[in-house]
Amino acid sequence: MGELSTQVVIIGGGPSGLLLSQLLHVCGIQSVVLERKTKNYVLGRIRAGVLERGLLHLMREAGVADRMEREGFTHDGTLICYGNQMFRVDFKHHTSHSVMVYGQTEVTRDLYEAREKSGGEIVFNVEDVEIHDAKTNAPFVTYKKAGTSHRITCDFVAGCDGFHGISRKTIPQKVRKEYEKVYPFGWLGILSETPPVSHELIYVNSERGFALCSMRNTNLSRYYIQCDLSDRPEDWSDNAFWTELKLRLPPDVASKLVTGPTIEKSIAPLRSFVSEPMRWGQLFLCGDAAHIVPPTGAKGLNTAASDVNYLYRALRQFYETGDTSGIDSYSEVALSRVWKAERFSWWFSSLMHRYPDHSEFDFRIQVAELQFLHGNQAAQQAMAENYVGLPY
């Protein structure tokens, strides 16, 4: 059996695990990242790309912001449509902050490059990962790679391995309390090598269902429409998708839409989920391992980043001063912000989607809420503050 020792074992080589590893490296804390897939597989995952102000700051602090600053697109606001109305929520005006459109794949690519450049240890294609003795001061992690068993002793374990990973399941069921809401629809999303219909995101509440016009760059567009959970991507031809999207957009927006062949098509279910606590002994959960949000408002990666922020600062405090207060309060502090992000994602999803069991009364309440948001500066400020990211 191969044996290794480090300060922090990070399970999961996605953006949250890599960001934590890079931030720890910057302040001289050792880590090893374990990833069950290949690097190319991780980079091939299509994910959101709206970065909050807090994540932008962490990328700069981690020393990986140069390409993001050059190639990312700063968005000072967003557009919201309902009926024949369209209005803009001005983030910059209400909060003095913006968001940046920069694909999660690009964030991950930048972090891989930084970790490899600095000699960071990332082990791919690991199997049978297990966390041992997390409730003691001498935890260790075992795994197999190419049939050979390995063991890593460490001070702490960070579970950044997503909803289906082993980290959350390591916490005994009698200790965990889970909260979940499953939404009765999905998002059919496509990528298309076409110019975006708008330089800012457009969120649409249509009688036919929700739609979102997003982007990755000046010639790569990302569009979504609300669909039935029973739908499959292959049920939707490119022509059927574009036709339906146009029917949901305001006519003047639809007339400007440039269509073309899709290069990726997928359906994502929507779920709100939180598991408490986010710490068990020397094991800490980050990101999707502990919580899921519906994609409305782009809080998934950003909420994972806030976890990384709290954990990184707690570990740095411990290693530099011996103070355990940040570690001891991690779960409570992280969950406080998680639940605020959950609330915003739930609220925005409830506002913009058509639910199968909605009555006419429910529809009218939705319209009234949209009208209130349209005409009320305080409501727009509250939305803008949540969208650009609540302070850490």
DSSP string, 302-313: HHHHHHHHHHHH
Q: Which domain holds residue 286?
A: 2-73+99-180+271-349
Residue 263 lies inside a defined structural domain of this protein = no
Q: Which amino acid would we find at residue 40?
A: N
Please check the confidence at residue 240 and state whether its pLDDT lies above 80: yes
Give the separation between CA 308 and CA 315, rounded to whole angstroms. Answer: 10
Q: Which amino acid would we find at residue 349?
A: S
What pLDDT score does 46 carry?
A: 66
Tokens 């029917």 sit on residue: 247
Give the separation between CA 339 and CA 325, rounded to whole angstroms. Answer: 22
What pLDDT score does 3 carry?
A: 85
Q: Determine phi and psi for 202, rounding to 5 degrees.
A: -120, 120
Q: At 392, is the secondary structure helix, strand, or coil?
A: coil
Residue 389 lies inside a defined structural domain of this protein = no
What does the angle CA 133 – CA 315 – CA 20 come to, to the nearest 5 degrees?
95
Residue 62 lies inside a defined structural domain of this protein = yes
Task: Report the CATH number at residue 277.
Answer: 3.50.50.60
**Tens of pLDDT, residues 199-236:** 999 999 999 999 999 998 889 999 999 999 999 999 99
Residue 56 lies inside a defined structural domain of this protein = yes
**Which has the closest alpha carbon to 45: 110, 105, 111?**
105
Strand ranges in 116-261 using DSSP code E only, listed in sequence order: 121-123, 127-132, 140-145, 148-153, 156-159, 177-192, 202-206, 209-217, 220-227
Is the preceding peptide bond at 15 cis, omega within 30 degrees of 0? no
What pLDDT score does 165 carry?
A: 97
Stretch 244-254: mean pLDDT: 96
**Tens of pLDDT, residues 142-163:** 999 999 999 999 999 999 999 9
Q: Residue 129 has which token pair?
A: 């990962």
DSSP state of 271: E
**Tens of pLDDT, residues 36-59:** 999 888 888 767 789 999 999 999
Q: Is 160 left (phi over 0), alpha (psi -120 to 50) or beta?
A: alpha
Q: At 270, is the secondary structure helix, strand, or coil?
A: strand
Q: At 114, is the secondary structure helix, strand, or coil?
A: helix
**Which has the closest alpha carbon to 43: 109, 95, 127?**
109
Give the separation between CA 55 and CA 59, rounded to whole angstroms. Answer: 6
Please check the confidence at residue 65 and state whether its pLDDT lies above 70: yes
What pLDDT score does 44 carry?
A: 80
Tally of CA atoms within 13 A in the half-sphere of 259 that contains its CB: 13
Local confidence band at 318 (pLDDT 50, 70, 90 cut-offs):
very high
Residue 371 lies inside a defined structural domain of this protein = no
Q: 3-state DSSP: the chain helix, strand, coil percent, rounded to 5?
A: 40, 30, 30
**Tens of pLDDT, residues 103-130:** 899 999 999 999 999 999 999 999 999 9
Residue 247 lies inside a defined structural domain of this protein = no
82 CB-near residues (< 8 Å, 6+ apart): 204, 205, 206, 366, 367, 370, 374
* H-type alpha helices, 143-209: 167-170
Instruction: Give the chain's radius of gyration (CA, Å).
Output: 21
Computed over every residue of the chain, the mean pLDDT equals 96
Q: How many residues does the chain have?
A: 392
**Tens of pLDDT, residues 263-300:** 999 999 999 999 999 999 999 999 999 999 999 999 99
Local confidence band at 1 (pLDDT 50, 70, 90 cut-offs):
low
The number of distinct structural domains making up the chain is: 1
What pLDDT score does 216 carry?
A: 85
**Tens of pLDDT, residues 17-33:** 999 999 999 999 999 99
Tally of CA atoms within 13 A in the half-sphere of 321 that contains its CB: 10
Please check the confidence at residue 84 and state whether its pLDDT lies above 90: no
Task: List active site positions.
Answer: 75, 203, 295, 299, 387
Q: 202-206 and 77-82: which strand pairing? A: parallel
Q: What percent of the chain has pLDDT over 90?
A: 94
**Which has the closest alpha carbon to 224: 263, 272, 186, 197?**
186
Residue 244 lies inside a defined structural domain of this protein = no
DSSP state of 296: T
DSSP state of 37: S
**Which has the closest alpha carbon to 13: 49, 38, 46?**
38
Residue 203 lies inside a defined structural domain of this protein = no
